[in-house]
Chains A and B, each alone.
Chain A
């Protein structure tokens, strides 16, 4: 496997279900991200993990719960979702430097999980 992989690619769940999305990066990066992509809206950053610590949570509802057990894996646990949560969920990773010289941070994306909440 290369790059960033996500499983499952498609998921249909009821509002009372509990499911998890998985992301794995094979790039040796130290930061991982969850984005939500809804139709006609810009990508929304949900969570950021840097060196396995959550550093940003953009006011995401608690029905979304991230987990980052190590620098290569990222999960998004889902429970009691709403129909408006139906979207494409994208995972990304990047290599963050310790500081000093400024270089742009490039994020590499997985193919996404298409989620439908009924």
Chain B
């Protein structure tokens, strides 16, 4: 069964500091990995995704993530955090389109607080 672990429930960083959010996954086949962000009162917005190729993936809002198969990790990074990045971040592992598995499995999320 597929699963996603986000070890950090809550992270606080200062504005301008670098950020790394951790994600570990368990998946029997080729993993398709996603990071979503949820601002207060909003739905989930896709930041980036990975399924093959370059293991460093660029996303929106200046975020990037690195896939490390040996560590079963897909950590999200940003070199300089802005106050508007305060939100909850979800890592997910999902199916491939057209397959019989429809399930997108999410981690419990990491809440990011940004101090001025």
A interface residues (Cβ-Cβ under 8 A, vs B): 4, 6, 31, 33, 40-43, 45, 48, 50, 55-56, 90, 92, 94-100, 102-112, 114
Contacts and interface: CB of A to CB of B under 8 A. Distances in A.
A20 B108 CA distance: 27
Given A4-B43, A110-B43, A55 B51 contact: no
Contacts, number: 75
Contact of B102 (A41, A50, A110): A50
Interface stretch (B11-19, B59-67, B89-97): B89-97
B97 A107 contact: no
B90 A105 contact: no
Contact of A55 (B4, B43, B102, B107): B102
19 contacts: A4-B43, A33-B102, A42-B4, A42-B106, A45-B103, A45-B104, A90-B44, A96-B97, A97-B97, A100-B98, A102-B98, A104-B34, A104-B51, A104-B94, A104-B97, A110-B43, A111-B41, A111-B43, A112-B43
B42 interface: yes
Interface in B60-106: 90, 94-99, 102-106
A109 B44 contact: yes
Nearest to A101: B98
Interface string B42-55: 11111001110000
Nearest to A3: B43
A95 B102 CA distance: 11
Nearest to B108: A42
Q: Which of B50, B98, B108 has the most chain A CB atoms inside 10 A of its CB?
A: B98
Nearest to B107: A42
Contacts of A33: 102
A43 B102 contact: no
